[in-house]
């Protein structure tokens, strides 16, 4: 049965794959090839030696020779079996390693991309960027597993060599007819020598098997530390070593995001956004709204004012999702008086933070758009940029200077008026 | 040549020497390769979950173990065959044996050589 890949996210899958060493595996494939070559050579030499022995000690005329040559046939047959299995195992091992190597090469580039998506300004429950890469990694592992299932069957152990044929009965006692000789060993001339020989005795090989524990909720947290995030485990909102934000645990479930109509709630409360996008004081839904532009989390406005475009899975009527995945400029503070409305106006509604937030975050949006253009990610027909209203009819406070301009060097210049 | 046994002992002796040389070179080389592979163990899928990969690893581990054991035994048997062939060449050159007796004699020589090798091996392991 294959693995339950739905229980693993991309970091967990990469933690499995990164240990695979293609170079070491290739060395072993070559070793199997060399081994098969050696056994093939010796097998051929053994058959040649047997033929030459039969020529000088004919089994047709000497039943005693038949016994000796039969034993050689057993050895040759076992060598042939070992040779065949070695070639099959070499091919199977190569296939398995290639499958794992292909998955490794496929998944590796997504690790960094997913890490960037984890560290961007858009929470995971909004754009589901991490989910996309997790699913890609799972598909890659399913393909690799199917290939391993095919190639793995080629790996077959040879039969253990026994120096005697099963049809051979117990060795008969040699009568002491005065024949000298024997090998001089303890068993020479006695019965049961083969019975005492157990033939090839394999030394077991340890099978390393240490997969990460499956996670029932692999999508809850990115678990960028390489360990799968379990319920309530690190990765559910605690910033990783890289310091990137990890919002999955802070903002509990994606289901609270309004899918349409804008009446739903961004989880309220003191959900901090770690990782420096707003500093320790950045609070979604807390004091100091971000200034919600029209069309974004409109309605109750509990979500504060962060102009977060909705991504995949959370379409907003009348507005196309704009996937912005870039961090805010260094030093930008979301929720500060400069970026939103005044403290104390938090959560009053979408209109609470208009204008100011738009002006503050405008350069950020423009920068993101420039990056997208550079990356060629914008579709050919264009994507509507973030726009929001500003208040009209504000009386100008500063009027232009109507006095005629005067251009002269000014007083006290050397050489003038003297 | 003894009556009932037709054997050219010189050539049998030559066969024995060739086989002994093979045991020290070709069979030894193959056994060393098997031991090297065995020492490296299972080289893939340590952290991959699922029975599919685990089955492949189990088969590979068994293939390593059986192959190494066989190659080790092949080398030992090559030495044994060489010893027995040398003994046969010696004995049959001077002993007049009937076919039945010669048959038993060859079998006893093989059995004895294998048993002797087993005893030496067990003594070395103890």
Please name the helix (run of DSSP H) or strand (run of DSSP E) that holds residue B105, with its range, or none: helix B99-125
The tokens describing B110, both together, are: 């093989």
Are the CB atoms for A311 and A301 separated by under 8 Å?
Answer: no
Distance set, CA A100 to CA A1, A17, A94, A271 (Å): 18, 7, 10, 40
Q: Which residues of A388-400 are buried (b: 16+ CB within 10 A; e: fewer)?
A: beeeeeeeeeeee
Query: Would you state the pLDDT for residue A176?
Result: 35
Residue A319, φ and ψ in degrees, nearest 5: -145, 135
- Which residues lie below 8 Å from residue A113, measured CB to CB, with a gap of 6+? A133
What gap in Å lies between CA A317 and CA A264, rounded to an integer?
13
pLDDT of residue B28: 94
Residues in chain A with CB shorter than 8 Å from the CB of B70 are 78-79, 82, 158, 160-161, 200
Which of 83-102 (A) contact B at CB < 8 A?
Answer: 85-86, 89, 92-93, 96-97, 100
Does any CB of chain B come closer than 8 Å to the CB of residue A58?
A: yes
Does A179 contact chain B (CB < 8 Å)? yes
Residue of A nearest to B47 (CA): A211
Question: Is there a contact between A145 and B50 if contact means CB atoms under 8 Å apart?
Answer: yes
Mean per-residue pLDDT over chain B, rounded: 85
pLDDT digits (tens, 9 = 90+) for B43-88: 999 999 999 999 999 999 999 999 999 999 999 999 999 998 888 8
A204 touches chain B (CB under 8 A): yes
Facing residue for A25 by CB, picked from B43, B53, B106: B43
Rounded distance between C-alpha atoms, residue B61 and residue B54, angstroms: 10
- Cβ of B115 within 8 Å of Cβ of A58? The answer is no
Contacts of A21 (CB under 8 A, 6+ apart): B43
pLDDT band at A416 (very low <50, low <70, confident <90, very high): low
H/E run at residue A75: helix A63-119
Is B105 close to A21, i.e. CB distance below 8 A?
no
Mean pLDDT of chain A: 65
Q: What are the tens digits of pLDDT across the range B82-126?
A: 998 888 888 777 665 455 677 777 778 888 887 877 777 777 766
Please report the pLDDT score of residue A67 as a whole number. 85
Q: Which of A15, A152, A194 sits opposite B56 (nearest CB)?
A: A152
A260 touching B (Cβ < 8 Å): no
* pLDDT value of position A309: 40
Q: Which two tokens mark A359?
A: 């002006």
Residues A334-345 have a mean pLDDT of: 46
Assign A284 a pLDDT band (cuts: 50, 70, 90).
very low
Q: What is the pTM of this model?
A: 0.58
B51 to A174: CB separation less than 8 angstroms, yes or no: no
Residues near A34 by beta carbon (within 8 Å), at least 6 away in sequence: B33
Mutate to test the interface with A, among B56, B68, B93, B97 (most CBs of A within 10 A): B56
> Touching check for A226 and chain B: CB below 8 Å?
no
Report the complex ipTM. 0.85
Higher pLDDT, B17 or A269: B17
Contact (Cβ atoms closer than 8 angstroms) between residue A385 and residue A340: no
Distance from CA of B126 to the nearest CA of A (A): 16
- Strands A283-284 vs A271-272: parallel, antiparallel or unpaired: antiparallel
8-state DSSP, A316: B
Please give the full DSSP string across B38-95, using - where no structure is assigned: HHH---S-TT--SHHHHHHHHHHHHHHHHHHHHHHHHHHHHHHHHHHHHHHHHHHHH-
- Examine the pLDDT at A213 and tell me if it is beyond 90: no
Q: Which is nearest to A252 in space by CA: A266, A239, A263?
A: A266
Banded pLDDT at B40 (limits 50, 70, 90): very high
Give the nearest chain A residue to B80 (CA atoms): A183
Asked whether the beta carbons of residue B49 and residue A3 sit closer than 8 angstroms, the reply is: yes
Predicted confidence (pLDDT) per residue in A34-52, tens digit: 999 999 999 999 999 999 8
The pLDDT value recorded for residue A133 is 85
Choose the closest CB to B70 out of A61, A78, A211: A78
Tell which of B77, B85, B116 to mutate to test the A interface (max A CBs under 10 Å): B77
Residue positions counted in chain B:
126
Chain B closest CA to A221's CA: distance in Å? 20
Q: How far apart are CA B8 and CA B20, in angstroms?
A: 19
- Confidence at residue A332, expressed as pLDDT on a 0 to 100 scale: 57
Model confidence band, residue A335 (pLDDT cutoffs 50, 70, 90) = low
Q: Are B52 and A149 within 8 A, CB to CB?
A: yes
A206 and B41: CB-CB below 8 Å?
A: yes
């Amino acid at each position: 049965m294959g693995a339950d890949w739905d229980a693993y996210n991309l970091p967990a899958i990469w933690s499995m794959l990164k240990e695979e060493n293609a170079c070491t595996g290739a060395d072993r494939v070559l070793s199997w090839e060399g081994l098969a070559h050696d056994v093939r050579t010796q097998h051929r030499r053994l058959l040649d030696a047997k033929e030459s022995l039969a020529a000088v000690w004919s089994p047709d005329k000497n039943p005693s020779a038949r016994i000796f040559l039969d034993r050689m046939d057993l050895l040759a047959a076992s060598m042939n079996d070992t040779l065949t299995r070695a070639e099959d195992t070499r091919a199977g091992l190569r296939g398995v390693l290639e499958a794992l190597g292909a998955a490794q090469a496929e998944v590796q580039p997504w690790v960094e991309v997913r890490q960037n998506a984890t560290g961007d300004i858009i929470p995971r429950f909004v754009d589901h960027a991490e989910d996309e890469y997790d699913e890609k990694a799972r598909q890659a592992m399913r393909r690799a597993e199917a290939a391993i299932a095919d190639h793995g069957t080629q790996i077959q152990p040879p039969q253990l060599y026994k120096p005697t044929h099963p049809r051979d009965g117990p060795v008969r006692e040699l009568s002491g007819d005065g024949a000298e000789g024997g090998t001089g060993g303890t068993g020479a001339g006695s019965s049961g020598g083969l019975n005492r020989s157990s033939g090839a005795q394999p030394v077991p090989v340890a099978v390393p098997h240490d997969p990460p524990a499956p996670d029932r909720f692999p999508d809850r947290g990115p678990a960028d530390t390489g360990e799968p995030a379990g319920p309530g485990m690190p990765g559910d909102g605690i910033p990783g070593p890289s310091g990137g934000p990890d919002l999955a645990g802070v903002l509990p479930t994606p289901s609270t995001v309004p899918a349409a109509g804008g009446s739903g709630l961004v989880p309220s409360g003191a959900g901090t956004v770690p990782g420096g996008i707003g500093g320790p004081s950045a609070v979604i839904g807390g004091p100091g709204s971000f200034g919600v532009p029209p069309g974004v989390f409109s309605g109750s406005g509990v979500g504060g004012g962060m102009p977060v475009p909705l991504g995949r899975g959370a379409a907003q009527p009348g507005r196309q999702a704009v996937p912005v995945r870039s961090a805010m400029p260094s030093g930008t503070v979301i929720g500060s008086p400069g970026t939103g409305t005044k403290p104390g106006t938090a959560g009053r509604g979408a209109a609470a933070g208009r204008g100011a937030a738009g002006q503050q975050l405008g350069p950020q949006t423009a920068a993101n758009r420039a990056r997208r253009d550079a990356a060629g990610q914008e579709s050919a027909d264009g994507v509507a940029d973030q726009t929001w209203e500003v208040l009209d009819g504000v009386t100008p406070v500063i009027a232009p200077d109507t006095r005629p301009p005067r251009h002269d060097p000014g007083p006290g210049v050397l050489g003038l008026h003297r | 040549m003894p009556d009932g046994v037709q054997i050219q002992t010189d050539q049998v002796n030559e066969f024995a020497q060739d086989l002994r040389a093979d045991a020290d070179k070709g069979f030894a080389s193959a056994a060393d390769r098997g031991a090297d592979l065995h020492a490296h163990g299972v080289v893939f899928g340590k952290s991959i979950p699922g029975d599919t990969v685990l089955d492949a690893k189990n088969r590979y581990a068994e293939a390593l173990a059986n192959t190494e054991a066989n190659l080790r035994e092949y080398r030992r048997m090559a030495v044994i065959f060489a010893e027995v062939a040398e003994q046969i060449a010696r004995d049959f050159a001077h002993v007049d044996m009937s076919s039945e007796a010669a048959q038993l004699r060859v079998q006893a020589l093989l059995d004895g050589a294998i048993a002797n090798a087993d005893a030496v091996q067990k003594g070395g392991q103890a």
